[in-house]
Amino acid sequence: MKEEEIRPEKLFDELLRLNREDIKIYFSDSKNTKINCSACGNEGIFSFNKDGFDFDECKQCKTLYVSPRPDKESFNNYYTNSASSKFWATTFYKATEKNRREMLWKPKAEMILNKIQYFSPDTKKVIDIGGGYGIFIEEFLKISNLKHLVIEPSEYLSKVCKDKGLKVMVKFLEDVEKNDLPNIKKTFVSFELFEHLHSPELFLKVLHDIMDKGDLFIFTTLSGMGIDIQTLWEKSKAISPPMHLNFFNPKSIKILLDTIGFKTLEVTTPGKLDIDIMKNNKEMINDRFWKNYIEYSNEDEKKEMQTFISKNNLSSHMMIVCKKV
Ligand SMILES: [Zn+2]
């Protein structure tokens, strides 16, 4: 898989351009509050400013995060009304839907089924938080007979799911109550949501409250210790505020999960794109080793390096399996 196949450069750059326009509209009057590291609570140190947002890095656990953080209302407004959100949900989505289904969602459905069979084989229901267009659940139901539910706050997206015949709860996670969910063994999943969260801690607390003991939570997010992000740093396109605010890593995410009361069962980085992303942005790499490596290595060597990166928790695409105990 190549980055271009799931994130065509032209569309991606247009998304980032619209995003920069939206920042002026939705964030110029926001109230900003200085925050500590979202993982370990220590004070961070300023690392860089990007598009008007300051990023702090925690010296203890290496979490990278936006601080001062604008108020939640500005984000709600931005996600509901902004041109970049619309562009993402319509133009970008439509142009990449087919490739994303084949290259991302099908393998992800298989991976999640394997995790469930291994860590929680008596799961009866899979609940996708922020399920969007419902493609994960659609693909998952092709290979599993488990019950399902999509929790999706957007009226538009939840209608798309309903039209596909999927079961949907039209709510924000924080409005879901324990009584809304059946008392059977459940696995909750969420994909590429965590990096967007205004308060990852609050999200996990709310989720922990509505889960039953023994329920599983599997999620994917960006790792700030991922090799492409570390190498490109502020020039990394993944560091795109106000969309992406939180960059945990395999070690720091465990600290946060422990604090909330989850037991972390596994952290992996099954990402496949780090080297390709670096190749696509090679003129922005300053590090001598990686700059030369990208030029010097052939395709087979790159492939092998990517396998090493993924295996050693060094990719920027991270998957976490945890449990309420
Ligand atoms: Zn920290």
- What pLDDT sits at residue 319? 98
Quote the percentage of the chain above a pLDDT of 90. 96
Contacts for 66-70: CB closer than 8 Å, 24+ residues apart: 66/241, 66/242, 66/245, 66/246, 67/34, 67/35, 67/36, 68/32, 68/33, 68/34, 68/35, 69/32, 69/33, 69/34, 69/35, 69/198, 69/245, 70/27, 70/30, 70/31, 70/32, 70/242
CA of 321 to the centre of ligand 1 (A): 20
Q: Per residue in 229-263, pLDDT tens?
A: 999 999 999 999 999 999 999 999 999 999 999 99
pLDDT digits (tens, 9 = 90+) for 53-85: 999 999 999 999 999 999 999 999 999 999 999
- CATH class name, domain 3-324: alpha beta
Crossing angle between the packed helical segments 9-27 and 72-81, to the nearest 10 degrees: 130
Give the model's pLDDT for residue 240: 94
41 Ramachandran zone, left/alpha/beta (phi>0; psi -120 to 50)? left
Mean pLDDT computed over 154-162: 92
Query: Which H or E element spans position 111?
Result: helix 106-119
- The pLDDT assigned to 120 comes to 98
pTM of the model: 0.96
| Alpha carbon of 253 to ligand 1 centroid (Å) | 9
Mean pLDDT of 33-53: 98
Q: Give burial (CB, 10 Å; 0-12/13-18/19+) of 204.
A: buried
| Residue ranges per structural domain of the chain | 3-324
Q: What is the mean pLDDT of the chain?
A: 96
Distance 288 CA to ligand 1 centre (A): 28
CA 39 / ligand 1 centre spacing (Å)? 5
Which tokens go with 113?
């089924």
